[in-house]
Amino acid sequence: MTLRALTVLVIDENRLRASIIETGLREAGHQNVTIIHDINGIARRIQDINPDVIVIDLGNPNRDMLENMFQLSRAVKRPIAMFVDRSDVASIEAAVEAGVSAYVVDGLKQERVKPILDMAVSRFNAYSRLQRELDDARSELESRKLVERAKGILMRSKGLSEESAYALLRKTAMNQNRKIAEIAQSLITAADLLDSGTGPGTGDDR
């Protein structure tokens, strides 16, 4: 017996993450996938799509509204329950941990929905990892910029070579047991204060 293909709805305001999930679902052979970014007029959309499974990002502030809608028969033809199986504690924990919730229509077989939930969880986690890496890369770049500026200040004020300026920063950081970027940041802040704070009445002298 061939089973009817499941219709999956993904509600996520984050377009990048939504497309990562969509790709995963399609790769897993789910062709009926709809993505909604904007919850305006969502009741009508859900009625039209008539999904078997709904995947929502836990950060969505409209979750209470959406859940209420799932429980009203007007918007959804079949009542919807959360998660595949309430007794499957590990799956539930993994989903909440990953920041995703899934709702399925009543009576849908667990083994048909479980892979979808597992996929959503792993894609949410992959997205978070990607986001963290991006953040790290961004702060790495920021640190490098700070160190460059601090080096410039030391080179000017102390007449040091670039190499000696960096060595001084590194030594100070090691002595104080702080990160080199933190030392650079305080040096820049101090230099900024001194540049602008030459006292009342002297602001236009330079």
Binding site for other proteins (CB under 8 A): 58-65, 67-71, 80-83, 86, 92-93, 96-97, 101, 103
Nearer to other proteins, 98 or 187 (CB): 98
What minimum distance in Å lies between the beta carbon of 11 and other proteins? 13
What minimum distance in Å lies between the beta carbon of 99 and other proteins? 9
Q: Closest Cα to residue 9, out of 45, 34, 44, 42?
A: 34
Nearer to other proteins, 70 or 127 (CB): 70
The full DSSP string for 32-97 is -EEEE---TTHHHHHHHH--SEEEEETT-TTHHHHHHHHHSTTT-SS-EEESS-TT-HHHHHHHHH
Nearer to other proteins, 65 or 137 (CB): 65
What minimum distance in Å lies between the beta carbon of 43 and other proteins? 10
Nearer to other proteins, 32 or 67 (CB): 67
Nearer to other proteins, 99 or 152 (CB): 99
The answer to whether 59 and 18 have CB atoms below 8 angstroms apart is no
What minimum distance in Å lies between the beta carbon of 112 and other proteins? 19
Q: What CA–CA distances, in Å, run from 32 to 4, 52, 121, 172?
A: 11, 10, 19, 60
Count the residues in the chain: 206
What minimum distance in Å lies between the beta carbon of 25 and other proteins? 22
What minimum distance in Å lies between the beta carbon of 201 and other proteins? 36
Question: What are residue 67's phi and psi, to 5 degrees?
Answer: -60, -40
Q: What CA–CA distances, in Å, run from 38 to 10, 61, 95, 165?
A: 11, 12, 22, 52
The secondary structure element, H or E, covering residue 10 is: strand 8-11
Nearer to other proteins, 81 or 160 (CB): 81
Q: Which amino acid is at 38?
A: D
